[in-house]
Amino acid sequence: MTGLRIAVWLGGLTPLALLVYRAFTGGLGVNPVEHLTHRTGFWALTLLMVTLSITPIRRLTKRNDLIKLRRPIGLFAFFYACLHFLIFIVFDHLFALSSILEDIVKRPYITAGFTAFVLLIPLALTSTKGWIRRLGKRWQRLHRLVYLSAGLGVLHFFWKAASKADVREPLIFAGVLAILMIARLPIWLRRKRRTTSRLSDDARRRTRAATGIGP
């Protein structure tokens, strides 16, 4: 597991190191801001998909210790999402709040991307063991927002790419997300059956208590 954690850190920091290297060596192309925007968004989505894949892989491999990797990978995804948004604020709008808000409201692909980013904030803030203990079952319900965030992130990428008539990358992300959602269906169905069974048992107990019938 120590080796896997080291691999996660190396994998999470490598895209940043490459961007820094290219920035100092003139490797960002003719439009550096666009390149930085694309690559940070790409890695935010990629790492988010890897985060979502941890649970299906854990169940397939029976490696329960893999769950420990979900938090650092998810935080790296949030880190690159923060960089992506920061580039939008600093280089696209020079901190002009009115211009930023206008873009968020009037441009649908930015609305989707901004919403995806906002949804990740509470997930990152509550990813510690302390918050897991404090929130209890509510923690799992809160962190299901990651699916909505991932979907909006893919939609954001698709709408942006569609303006340039090249949607190959966002379609790949959409396919990966669809596969991950299908892989989780058995888990959700089992949870639903357990919840339904528990509610039925509770209803029977209340009926017995009210009527005095039954053991």
Q: Tell me, what's the pLDDT at 141?
A: 86
Residue 107 has what DSSP assignment?
Answer: -
213 φ, ψ (degrees, to nearest 5)? -100, 140
1 pLDDT tier (thresholds 50, 70, 90)? low
Q: State the average pLDDT for the chain.
A: 87
204 pLDDT tier (thresholds 50, 70, 90)? low
**pTM (predicted TM-score):** 0.85
Beta strand spans in the chain (E) = none
Contact 151, 177 (CB under 8 A): yes
pLDDT tens string 10-37: 999 999 999 999 999 989 888 999 999 9
Tell me how crowded residue 114 is: count the other CB atoms within 10 A of its CB: 20
61 pLDDT tier (thresholds 50, 70, 90)? confident
What is the C-alpha separation between 8 and 91, in angstroms, rounded?
29
Task: Return all residues near 74 (Cβ < 8 A) that are at least 6 apart.
Answer: 47, 48, 51, 123, 124, 127, 146
pLDDT tens string 143-201: 889 999 999 999 999 999 988 878 999 999 999 999 999 888 876 677 667 666 665 65
Across 187-200, b (16+ Cβ under 10 Å) vs e yields: eeeeeeeeeeeeee
Q: Tell me, what's the pLDDT at 206?
A: 58
Per DSSP, the three-state class of 193 is helix
Separation of CA 93 from chain center: 25
DSSP assignment string, 6-59 = HHHHHHHHHHHHHHHHHHHHT-S-S-HHHHHHHHHHHHHHHHHHHHHHHHHHHH
63 φ, ψ (degrees, to nearest 5)? -95, 85
Q: Tell me, what's the pLDDT at 3?
A: 81
* Residue 214 in this model has a pLDDT that exceeds 90: no
pLDDT tens string 75-119: 999 999 999 999 999 998 888 999 999 999 999 999 999 999 999
Q: Tell me, what's the pLDDT at 215?
A: 44
Tell me how crowded residue 41 is: count the other CB atoms within 10 A of its CB: 22
Query: Tell me, what amino acid is at 53?
Result: S
Residue showing tokens 């340039």: 164
Share of the chain above pLDDT 90, in %: 58
Q: Tell me, what's the pLDDT at 213?
A: 47
Residue 194 has what DSSP assignment?
Answer: H
* Residue 207 in this model has a pLDDT that exceeds 80: no
Domain ranges in the chain are: 2-190
